[in-house]
Structure 1
Amino acid sequence: MNRLFAATLGILTAIGGFVDIGDLVTNAVVGSRFGLSLAWVVVVGVVGIVLFAHMSGKVTAISGRATFEIIRERLGPRAALVNLGGSMALTLLTLAAEIGGIALALQLLAGVAPLTIVLPLAFAVWWIVWRVRFSWMENAAGLLGLLLVGFVVALVALDPDWTALGRQLVPSVPAGGGESGLTYAYYAVALFGAAMTPYEVFFFSSGAAEEGWTSRDLWMSRLNVLVGFTLGGVLSLAIAGCAAVVLLPAGIAVTSLSQVLAPVAVALGVVGVVVVLVGVVAATTGAALETALACGYSIAQYAGWPWGKRLRPVQAPQFHVVVAGAVALACVVLATGVDPIMVTEFSVVFSAVALPLTYFPVLVVANDPDYVGEHVNGRVVNAVALVYLVIIGVAAVAAVPLMVLTRMGA
């Protein structure tokens, strides 16, 4: 049982990073347009985030310090400031999308207009960060987010032709669907960026520090990333699979959260939709909490301020002010009436652009014996990580041109 609850940090990180509002919609869009032919991107993303998140957790467990703090010390304030600027802009954008995603889910669940509840939701996110213990927060959001397993249940209940579905796993642009190679490449980059969103590794590292991990807790880091991110990948594939079975044959284009849930309604009825919607609310709330905390963590660690939920506002005033300011800015963005799903689509594409700024420094620090001692990466891990840096570089260079050329996958 202790190991189960020990994995909730990874579950929270994975639910918030892999299955937030953007991923829910993006995976459904991909499934409805390309079937499962982009499933390989999810697998590549899962392996990558497991690899680098464990490095980040390892650095914290061994050194007792958060990764971003060490990056500033190791690479210098100027290089770290570039990283900070890129990741903060992206994280703020994602925070706005997640609060908007909670509002969209509550609209379907309770019939409330999204714009009328943005301010109360933003206040609730801030209050949870301020008042609720980290362990309670991660257990509640992570475990309730597991209700998204309803997509897996729905896929099985739909009883598809598994052989035909398996043939879709071959990477290719489906013939006769009017899709182009450029659009296929655009969604591949978007899925990859969503899977390896930069704030995930910094949140994971900071969460490890919040929980007081030491070298004796390296097993916990492995358990968290393997259970959490693998689960996130399975849920992403189930969402795409449901769309491939129900929406692709009907030629239905996904443009809203209700269409994402349509296959669940077909397979499990109203009760199934309600259960999954509760999971959506939990997942998007978890993502909102992650991103709000990530803003406070990164800026405070860069500046050398006291930080963490374990510290009261009077003990870490700058950290709490940054978190409150980030939530307020996200609320201002949503008050303009912008579509939260569109905001997230922008964020996952620009996430791909920012990937090298995050993952190269993490690899450098994970190989520095001054911080991790004898626990530096082995040759195999470094070889795989270098392959990922090449993939990350290609995705970063291609992201914006593909977005422009395809008009965001239109």
Structure 2
Amino acid sequence: MKRFLAVTLGILTAIGGFVDIGDLVANSETGARFGMRLAWVVVVGVIGICLYAEMSGRVAAVSGRPVFDLVRERLGARVALANLAGSYLVTLLTLSAEIGGVALAIELATSVHYLLWVPIAAFVLWVVLWKVKFEPMERVFGLAGLALVVFVVALIALDPPWAQLGQQVTSPVPPATEDWGTYGFFAVALFAAAMTPYEVFFFSSGGVEEKWTSRDLAISRVNVFVGFPLGGVLSLAVMGCAAVVYEPLQAQVDTLGQTALPVAMALGKLGLVVVILGFFAATFGAALETGLSAGYTVAQYFGWQWGKLVRPRQAARFHTVVLISVLLGVALLLTTADPIAITEYSLVFSAVALPLTYLPILIVANDRDYLGDEVNSPLTNVLGVTYLVIILVAAIAAVPLMILTGMGS
């Protein structure tokens, strides 16, 4: 019964944690401008994150060692340091965006300017990271993030022209109002939103925190192959709501309030309350994950004690990195940088850094010295190499598309 509960809660946590500020912004903007014509990218991204997370979870469960520890040992200190630098910078940028997302969600509920909430949100975040145990922290905020299922309900309540949406899904070309440049930019952003590296760092390190072994591979795989696809459904529902409400008006979405508006239109005040709760839970949960991931990557590379299984004093350097990362994220927000703009930049640079984090996992997942008979199957390797090519294309195209399109404007 305990193992069944662990699987069930793990699935629900994966759903709640999948849709963070990056997914909310990217899917809503895309739905408003392209309808459902980029829905295929979400599907590609979900398959990719399932592949990526399954390999990482398997590496952690079989070896009993965290990913960055193995990457440093397998690839050498210099290559792993480049991996660490890229991963940490992207995670830090994402952490800042998630703290901003928490503040924006509170602003929607209180009408008090989000900048006033940033220090408070960051302080509460740090207290939770310092004091709360790993499993209750992950499950409470992950499960609360399931409030975003309200987007699925709202999409149905909006009674959209399903045939038209289906035609858009099967016609993966830009509409007359857009060009191929902006289409490509938003495709890269959506792909990066689905395959954000911190999700994998958190998932694999969490496996070590929960003391997974090779006997827990079934739990890991169920969490991955059920939880992440269901999270993808939520992302598509966000895109669909924006497509129904904004795309016919040729209106752009550039605030979190506009992302919530279709739910309020369909379900009234109750729907608005639920969606704000979902925004808060999803962004706060993602802020917890990115904060921990920043500490995980640095501590694992340098071989420090880390994690929530030991007392903070025993992992003082790990918690110091987490605290400094939170403070840096707050400092960026207090420059009055727009959290939505930070989110958009984080997605671009996430795409650029993704090969640095994906390739080492693919290499280690094929190393029998670490995994024995649990190395990648031939099918997994075919998919793994295919996605490596896709990731490289996205990484190469991300910055040129950002410049050429002016961040998709």
TM-score range (shorter-chain normalised) is over 0.9
- Pairwise CA distance, 1:7: 4.7
Counterpart residue identity of residue 327, structure 1: V
Contact 2:26-2:193 within 8 A present in 1 as well: no
**Aligned partners of 2:119 and 2:261: how far apart in 1?**
28
- Pairwise CA distance, 1:85: 0.2
Contact 1:198-1:351 within 8 A present in 2 as well: yes
Q: Which residue of 2 aligns with 1:74?
A: 74
Counterpart residue identity of residue 241, structure 1: G
**Aligned partners of 1:59 and 1:134: how far apart in 2?**
20
Q: For 1:35-114, what aligned pairs fall within 5 Å after superposition?
A: 35-114=35-114
**Aligned partners of 2:207 and 2:326: how far apart in 1?**
23
Residues 197-230 of structure 1 show CA distances to partners (whole Å, capped at 9, x for unaligned) of: 1122111110001111011100011111122211
Q: Which residue of 2 aligns with 1:316?
A: 315
Q: Which residue of 1 aligns with 2:301?
A: 302
- Pairwise CA distance, 1:170: 2.1
- SS of residue matched to 1:168: helix
- SS of residue matched to 2:269: helix
Q: For 1:237-386, what aligned pairs fall within 5 Å after superposition?
A: 237-386=236-385
Contact 1:55-1:366 within 8 A present in 2 as well: yes
Query: Please, which runs of 5 or more residues in structure 2 have no aligned partner?
Result: none
Residues 141-170 of structure 1 show CA distances to partners (whole Å, capped at 9, x for unaligned) of: 111000000000000111112111111102
Residues 82-138 of structure 1 show CA distances to partners (whole Å, capped at 9, x for unaligned) of: 000001111111101100100001011122221112111111111111111111011
Contact 2:46-2:229 within 8 A present in 1 as well: yes
**Identity level (%):** 59
**Aligned partners of 1:319 and 1:10: how far apart in 2?**
28
- Pairwise CA distance, 1:173: 3.3
Matched, 1:236 2:232: no
156 and 4 in structure 1: CA distance in 2 versus 1, 3 angstrom threshold: farther
Contact 2:34-2:243 within 8 A present in 1 as well: yes
Contact 2:16-2:143 within 8 A present in 1 as well: no
Contact 1:10-1:204 within 8 A present in 2 as well: no
13 and 304 in structure 1: CA distance in 2 versus 1, 3 angstrom threshold: farther
Matched, 1:153 2:166: no
**Aligned partners of 1:399 and 1:128: how far apart in 2?**
35
- SS of residue matched to 1:252: coil
- Pairwise CA distance, 1:14: 5.3
**Aligned partners of 2:14 and 2:389: how far apart in 1?**
25
Query: Please, which runs of 5 or more residues in structure 1 have no aligned partner?
Result: none
**Aligned partners of 1:268 and 1:342: how far apart in 2?**
29
- SS of residue matched to 1:408: coil
**Aligned partners of 1:374 and 1:358: how far apart in 2?**
23
Q: Which residue of 2 aligns with 1:391?
A: 390
- Pairwise CA distance, 1:10: 5.4
- Pairwise CA distance, 1:79: 0.4
- Pairwise CA distance, 1:11: 4.6
205 and 234 in structure 1: CA distance in 2 versus 1, 3 angstrom threshold: same
Counterpart residue identity of residue 100, structure 1: G
Residues 325-373 of structure 1 show CA distances to partners (whole Å, capped at 9, x for unaligned) of: 1111111111111111100100001111111101110011011111111
Contact 1:7-1:223 within 8 A present in 2 as well: no
Contact 2:15-2:146 within 8 A present in 1 as well: no
- SS of residue matched to 1:315: helix
Contact 1:68-1:298 within 8 A present in 2 as well: yes
Matched, 1:168 2:149: no
The alignment covers a number of residue pairs equal to 408
Counterpart residue identity of residue 385, structure 1: G
**Aligned partners of 1:343 and 1:373: how far apart in 2?**
42
Matched, 1:6 2:7: yes
Contact 1:83-1:358 within 8 A present in 2 as well: yes
Contact 1:93-1:330 within 8 A present in 2 as well: yes
Q: Which residue of 1 aligns with 2:129?
A: 129
Q: Which residue of 2 aligns with 1:194?
A: 193
Counterpart residue identity of residue 161, structure 1: P
**Aligned partners of 1:145 and 1:284: how far apart in 2?**
8
Counterpart residue identity of residue 342, structure 1: A
Counterpart residue identity of residue 74, structure 1: R
- Pairwise CA distance, 1:171: 4.1
Residues 232-276 of structure 1 show CA distances to partners (whole Å, capped at 9, x for unaligned) of: 110110000001111111222101111111110111001101111
Contact 1:242-1:263 within 8 A present in 2 as well: yes
- SS of residue matched to 1:314: helix
**Aligned partners of 1:7 and 1:224: how far apart in 2?**
8
- Pairwise CA distance, 1:13: 5.0
Give the alignment's TM-score, normalised by structure 2: 0.97
- SS of residue matched to 1:305: coil
